[in-house]
């Protein structure tokens, strides 16, 4: 059994510890074998062949897109992977610039590649890095694919690893094609965004790529269509300014100040590999994706006449339910982890998929989360409606009931986590804050839904040794009360 394990979005570890040149090389060899031998997802596989037929393309040799983010050693480690693919007879198109994960996914679809590999730590700490494998359908690999790759990864001492994994300063083969993928992706954005309305709106927007790959995308696209752009953190900094580079309120404090000081319409941000997003309104307030996602869904249906089903992770806001019901859209819950949403989006039946942590996918694009597109769709709303974000939000809540949410993470040992979940299964709470528990959803952990529609969810993280608590209610003060009760329940079970 391999010592390299995938989590919800790929393999991640501390740079120079679990994430080494040798381990990236080993991983690329395992992926190569998967490409060459898997009966469905591989180059000769039934699934990939049907995919190519549907696109009307004949691919003579397996092709993989390889990219990297702005982290320390990401580019060099991407070269290690590219060299390994070539050594296994697989063609490679290598990104010239830092490549956002959703752009890599779009390019996999656009080039009809058998897959894509991006070296990225996403929104992890500066000392973390990792590898994401994208399958031919343009989304992060499923559990089935990850398990197959893990089983094929050679041991560190395997004779098959002939090339030196320490010589990663440059590509070792002239057959690796370097390519600038940005143009094709931005051309795609022009078809999804109302560029005519954008040009007429004369918006002023602040952008914060958080020292990541979005720096080569937001400004290029927006300025082309007359948007005045004020940017921060567009330079290189492998330490991410000393902050955790996620698009949450703590990391976006400087963006909030910029929006207010410059009197801008909006602030937008993406984490370093651009799979998640953050939005700041004209008053400098960070806006939760639990509000943004339902507003985008409403925009897609009303203004872009999109139709289909809706899917969301089980702990995403019930505000989505209100919008879906108002437009007659069928809604489906999934476990936490966007790969479950991706599996549904691939069917082509879903207009939108979303998760509370800032991930959004829409139909007729990639089946995975795209933070770049999410930010542009918020700007698209302002331009199309010819209103400020504050006005849009006020109008939105004339039709839907506002909900308030809160979440916390509590570190626990693996033994404690297992004990808590077992005891919740055996003896769940029957009431919270003296309100009866109406239903328990066990799609992912336990979601205790109360008679008044409020809910508390308790679930273990799939990537860290922590218990996560989520709460939502129409009562602004109730989520904090439910979280407090959830903490008491957890402590009583240890």
pLDDT tens-digit series, residues 254-307: 999 999 999 999 999 999 999 999 999 999 999 999 999 999 999 999 999 999
| Mean pLDDT value of segment 61-67 | 96
* pLDDT in the model for residue 348: 93
Nearest to 365 by CA among 187, 106, 51: 106
* CA quadruple 148, 153, 159, 160: dihedral, nearest 10: 60
166 pLDDT more than 60: no
Q: Model's pTM, two decimal places?
A: 0.94
Nearest to 41 by CA among 128, 143, 137, 132: 137
CA distance 233 to 135: 31
Rounded CA Rg of the chain: 23
Residue 327 banded pLDDT, cuts 50, 70, 90: very high
Question: Cβ-count burial of 480 within 10 angstroms (0-12 exposed, 13-18 middle, 19+ buried)?
Answer: middle
- State what percent of residues in the chain have pLDDT above 70: 97
For residues 84 and 158, is the Cβ–Cβ distance under 8 A? Answer: no
Could you tell me which residues are beta bridge partners of residue 7?
Answer: 10
* pLDDT in the model for residue 172: 67
Residue-wise pLDDT tens digits, 241-253: 999 999 999 999 9
How many other CB atoms sit within 10 Å of the CB of residue 133? 24
Q: Which has more confidence, 2 or 68?
A: 68
* DSSP at 15: B
| Sign of CA pseudo-dihedral 297, 302, 305, 307 | positive
Residue 185 banded pLDDT, cuts 50, 70, 90: very high
Please, what is the average pLDDT of the chain? 93
Strands 266-270 and 204-208: parallel
Nearest to 243 by CA among 198, 211, 281: 211
Residue 125 banded pLDDT, cuts 50, 70, 90: very high
- DSSP labels for 94-151? EESS---HHHHHHHHHHHT-SEEEEE--TTS-TTEEEEEEEETTSSBPPHHHHHHHHH
* Residue 292 phi, psi (nearest 5): -60, -45
Residue 227 banded pLDDT, cuts 50, 70, 90: very high
* pLDDT in the model for residue 174: 60
Residue 84 banded pLDDT, cuts 50, 70, 90: very high
| Mean pLDDT value of segment 332-346 | 93
């Amino acid at each position: 059994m391999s010592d390299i394990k995938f989590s919800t979005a790929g393999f991640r570890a501390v740079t120079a510890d679990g994430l080494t040149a040798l381990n990236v090389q080993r991983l690329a060899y395992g992926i190569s074998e998967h490409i060459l031998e898997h009966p469905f997802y591989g180059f000769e596989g039934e699934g990939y062949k049907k995919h190519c037929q549907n696109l009307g393309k004949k691919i003579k040799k397996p092709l993989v897109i390889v990219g990297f983010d702005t982290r320390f050693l990401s580019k060099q480690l991407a070269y290690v992977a590219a060299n390994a693919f070539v050594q296994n007879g697989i063609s490679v198109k290598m990104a010239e610039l830092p490549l956002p994960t959703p752009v890599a996914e779009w390019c996999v679809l656009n080039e009809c590649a058998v897959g894509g590999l991006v070296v990225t730590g996403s929104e992890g700490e500066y000392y973390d890095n990792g590898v994401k494998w994208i399958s031919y359908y343009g989304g992060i690999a499923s559990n089935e694919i990850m398990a197959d790759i893990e089983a094929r990864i050679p041991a560190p001492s395997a004779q098959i690893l002939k090339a030196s994994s320490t010589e990663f300063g440059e590509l070792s083969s002239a057959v690796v094609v370097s390519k600038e993928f940005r143009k094709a992706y931005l051309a795609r954005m022009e078809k999804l965004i109302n560029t005519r309305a954008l040009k007429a709106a004369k918006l002023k927007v602040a952008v914060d790529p958080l020292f990541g790959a979005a720096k080569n995308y937001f400004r290029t696209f927006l300025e082309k269509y007359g948007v005045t752009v004020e940017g921060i953190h567009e330079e290189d900094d492998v330490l991410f300014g000393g902050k955790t580079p996620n698009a949450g309120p703590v990391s976006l404090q400087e963006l909030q100040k910029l929006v207010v000081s410059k009197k801008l319409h909006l602030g937008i941000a993406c984490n370093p590999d651009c799979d998640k997003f953050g939005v700041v309104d004209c008053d400098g307030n960070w806006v939760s994706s639990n509000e943004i996602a339902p507003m985008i869904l409403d925009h897609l249906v009303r203004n872009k006449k999109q139709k289909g089903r809706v899917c969301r992770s089980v702990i995403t806001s019930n505000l989505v339910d209100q919008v879906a019901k108002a437009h007659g859209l069928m809604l489906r819950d999934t476990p936490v982890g966007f790969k479950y949403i991706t599996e549904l989006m691939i069917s082509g039946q879903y207009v939108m998929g979303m998760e509370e942590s800032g991930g959004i996918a829409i139909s007729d694009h990639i089946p995975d989360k795209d933070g770049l597109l999410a930010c542009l769709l918020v700007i698209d709303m302002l331009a199309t409606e010819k209103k400020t974000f504050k006005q849009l939000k006020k109008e939105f809540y004339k039709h839907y009931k506002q909900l308030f949410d809160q979440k916390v993470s509590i570190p626990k040992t693996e033994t404690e986590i297992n004990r808590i979940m077992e005891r919740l299964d055996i003896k769940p709470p029957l009431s919270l804050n003296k309100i009866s528990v109406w239903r328990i959803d066990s799609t992912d952990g336990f979601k205790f839904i109360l008679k008044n529609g409020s809910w508390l969810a308790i679930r273990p993280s799939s990537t860290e040794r922590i218990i996560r608590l989520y709460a939502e209610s129409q009562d602004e003060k109730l989520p904090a009360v439910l979280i407090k009760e959830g903490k008491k329940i957890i402590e009583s079970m240890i």
